Amino acid sequence: MRFTVTQADLMEALARVSPAVPTKSTLPILSNVLMQLDANTLKLVATDLEVSVVTEVEVQGDGNGSVSVPARKIGDIVRELDGLELTINVDEGNHLTIDAGEGQYQVPGIASQEFPNLPEIEGGTALHFPAEDLDRMIQRTTFAVSRDELRPALTGVFFQIRPNELRCVATDGHRLVRIIDQRFQAEGDAREMILPVKALEMIRRNLPEKGDVEVMLGANQIMVRLEHAVLYSRLIEGRYPHYESVIPQENKNRLIANTEAMTRAVKRAQIFANPINRQIVFHLSPEKVEISAEDVEYGGKGREAVEASYDGEDQSIGYNAAYVLDLLRQIDTDSVQLELGSPTHAGIMRPTEQRDGEDFLMLVMPVRLS
């Protein structure tokens, strides 16, 4: 197995698959990237057994073959050979040798037969997602998933696929995001799936700027055809919580404020918040909202008024500053709207104007005032 390829092309291909390589694994083979040469096409594969990604790069090949090599080592050396043409040879002992310029570098490999096979999706349902809309949904949900492995269903984004609607939901129990695309069209029965964050982040990294993305949905696997890669992911098993029941329907207190002004005020207030609970307090009155924080244990406090329109009862509500900032970063309108209940009920945050055919809301739980 022997081929010639530019450093830039090989580096780009490695960058597409390397995020699937686990940082830690009890199986050494998973730390490798599989290389398969067929004529003038080099296929690269990486997997952690949950998420797999495949990409191809055109080369000048001489003899077919395959080998798996350590992803980190091959990536490190190819990165440092910037601008050079690489001639790569694999011998019968699975040693990969790179000739570049005046240098020669050898990377020990493992026989390709030991590398896991790609999943097979039989009898799957074909779906098509506009790339721009899918990018938007992934960006606006993945930040809110749980990191608690004891609640696996919450560690992914919940997709509800209906003939005339697509819903994406994420929550970690402290905040919740729900985005509905009412322009989405799909054939067949309604389907539901929970996709892991790692797969979604890799999908987003490889999305084309325009056009549709083809998705094949199987019983417990999904395959996504991207512009320069094919991604396979196992779906997260389990039942997603009934999220609609936690979204308040009667939050009658409404606050509208400038998004940037609110963001800057929360950032300044959190400097004085307790580092453990990061509590800030919204003091709400008709013409303004005051945002304050005080660290009783270590000392220091801050208070700032933000001009706002508030229709509701005067009250003070505590929130985790980090959660509020995460939500504010998703608001792409000049003003933000908060729908509030009592100091012990969840608050809802929305943009003041929704995109055509979209319904986007975020929920954040309050913190008991200390």
Topology annotation, domain 125-244: DNA Polymerase III; Chain A, domain 2 (3.10.150)
d(CA 335, CA 350): 9
Write down the domain spans for the chain. 2-114, 125-244, 247-364
* Separation of alpha carbons 50 and 20, rounded Å: 9
Domain 247-364 is found in CATH 3.10.150.10 = yes
Q: What is the pTM of this model?
A: 0.91
pLDDT at 250: 87
Quick one: which of 321, 197, 313, 334 has its CA closest to 253? 313
At the second CATH level, the architecture of 2-114 is Roll (3.10)
User: Which residue matches tokens 């936690």?
Assistant: 246
**pLDDT score, position 24:** 87
Residues making up the chain, counted from first to last = 370
Which amino acid would we find at residue 362?
M
Instruction: Give the residues across from 36 on adjacent strands.
Output: 43, 66
pLDDT computed for residue 124 by the predictor: 79
Q: Is 201 left (phi over 0), alpha (psi -120 to 50) or beta?
A: alpha
Task: Write the CB contacts of 297 (distance below 8 Å, at least 6 apart in sequence).
Answer: 274
Domains 2-114 and 247-364 share a fold: yes
Q: What are phi and psi of 117, to 5 degrees?
A: -75, 150
Distance CA 294, CA 297 (A): 9
User: Please, what's the b/e burial string for 331-369 (b: 16 or more CB within 10 A of its CB; e: otherwise)?
Assistant: beeebbbbbbbebeebbbbbbeeeeeeeebbbbbbbbee
User: pLDDT tens per residue, the chain (370 residues)?
Assistant: 999 999 999 999 999 999 999 988 889 999 999 999 999 999 999 999 999 999 999 999 998 999 999 999 999 999 999 999 999 999 999 999 999 999 999 999 999 999 999 988 877 788 999 999 999 999 999 999 999 989 999 999 999 999 899 999 999 999 999 999 999 988 878 899 999 999 999 999 999 989 999 999 998 999 999 989 999 999 999 999 999 999 998 899 999 999 999 999 999 999 999 888 899 999 999 988 999 999 887 788 999 999 999 999 999 999 999 999 999 999 999 999 999 999 999 999 999 999 999 999 999 999 988 6
103 forms beta bridges with 100
- Read off the amino acid at residue 233: S
